[in-house]
Structure 1
């Protein structure tokens, strides 16, 4: 799964990388400890016109009476996304890229405090995670929310966790965003082992109140 991330790339750089027009209400950056329900940076496409937007991380199905009317849906499993009532329409029509510098995952061993690892792209490029989104309008104002699509871990990730966000490579952004026709389901697969790097980081990030760039400092 993906339960925490870091976003450090400047807004204008994100917009340039993804050829997207930035919205006026983008989340503040840098944020080294992005937690569920916080806003994240999302790229959407409407008839080929891309937009960089802020959305609540935590998908809100249309039937929820309130934002907390059911489980917090921060991830959507690729294996069942097309069948789950909460996700299937969005998987067909409202796919997005959730942009981050990388994400945290915890290795859990019996009798030990979970050990966090920071996972990012080997070349330091922004990580574009497959996402789905929708607008929920039962409150005072519409809320745009999203979830990260996950798949089985690749060989490199498996020693830490058995799930991995689906990572979309630049050449596949048009297909995932619906700009290049149908067939995006083929992209819901583990990233190549050599795409990612893994950095053991401080257990400070185990707290959702922790902040600051030192959260990414490697530890022994």
Structure 2
């Protein structure tokens, strides 16, 4: 499960190299650790359908169970069933986005926070959107994450991110590609957008 992630200036600059960023967007962004219900940078298909553009969306979207008045915030969906579950199918077919991140976090059984990142790389996390919110897609963890958690986010490189957003016919196969092996550290600091 991916419940928090880190967003730094370097990740923003890398995303701006592959997507159009509206002039106002930096005023809306929160840099640092991103929690559920906070706003974050995503890349989506531009209005012409021929490239990517940045947008600010909320991490998670609300869901009300039948027979209940209480809203729940959904933050993750399983990649294996996202195209068949009624709650996610439409968004998978029509509203795929990528979340821009510097790193993501998981916690050990004894509540130790572990930071996962790819050195000198921006993480493009597969997600789907509904209204003004997004849900991060997860898959079975690879060897670099498995000792801490059995799930991890669906990760793309910059070229795959563009394909994910634009090509529904290739989206399912992209989720099955091998995730990169990540570095990890129990301690992270953010200084000028770099992980140390």
Q: Same fold (TM over 0.5)?
A: yes
In structure 1, C-alpha distance between the alignment counterparts of 2:77 and 2:168, rounded to whole Å = 22
User: Match of 2:133, SS?
Assistant: strand
Whether contact under 8 Å (2:15, 2:100) holds in the other structure is no
Q: CA RMSD in A?
A: 2.6
Q: Map Cα deviations across residues 85-106 of structure 1 (whole Å, 9 max, x no partner).
A: 2211000110001001111111
Q: CA deviation at 1:40?
A: 0.8
Q: Map Cα deviations across residues 104-142 of structure 1 (whole Å, 9 max, x no partner).
A: 11111xxxx3111101113x211100010021xxxxxxx
Of residues 187, 194, 199, the one that matches 2:185 is 199
In structure 2, C-alpha distance between the alignment counterparts of 1:213 and 1:12, rounded to whole Å = 14
In structure 1, C-alpha distance between the alignment counterparts of 2:122 and 2:12, rounded to whole Å = 13
Q: Which moved more, 1:46-55 or 1:85-94?
A: 46-55
Q: Give structure 1 stretches of 5+ with no counterpart.
A: 136-143, 203-211
Of residues 108, 131, 137, the one that matches 1:149 is 137
The runs of at least 4 aligned residues of structure 1 exceeding 4 Å deviation read none
Whether contact under 8 Å (1:36, 1:74) holds in the other structure is yes
In structure 2, C-alpha distance between the alignment counterparts of 1:217 and 1:25, rounded to whole Å = 23
Structure-2 residue corresponding to 1:169: 157
Structure-1 residue corresponding to 2:169: 182
User: Match of 1:183, SS?
Assistant: helix
Q: Tell me, yes or no, if structure 1 residue 132 matches structure 2 residue 128.
A: yes
TM-score by length of 1: 0.75
Whether contact under 8 Å (1:117, 1:199) holds in the other structure is yes
Whether contact under 8 Å (1:101, 1:125) holds in the other structure is yes
Q: CA deviation at 1:193?
A: 4.7
Whether contact under 8 Å (1:155, 1:193) holds in the other structure is no
Give the direction of change, closer, same or farther, for the CA distance of 1:15–1:161 in structure 2 (3 Å limit). closer
In structure 2, C-alpha distance between the alignment counterparts of 1:147 and 1:181, rounded to whole Å = 17
User: Match of 1:6, SS?
Assistant: strand
Structure-1 residue corresponding to 2:53: 51
Structure-1 residue corresponding to 2:37: 37
Q: Give structure 2 stretches of 5+ with no counterpart.
A: none
Structure-1 residue corresponding to 2:116: 119
- The structure carrying a bigger strand percent of its residues is 2
In structure 1, C-alpha distance between the alignment counterparts of 2:114 and 2:153, rounded to whole Å = 14
Whether contact under 8 Å (2:51, 2:162) holds in the other structure is no
In structure 2, C-alpha distance between the alignment counterparts of 1:11 and 1:173, rounded to whole Å = 14
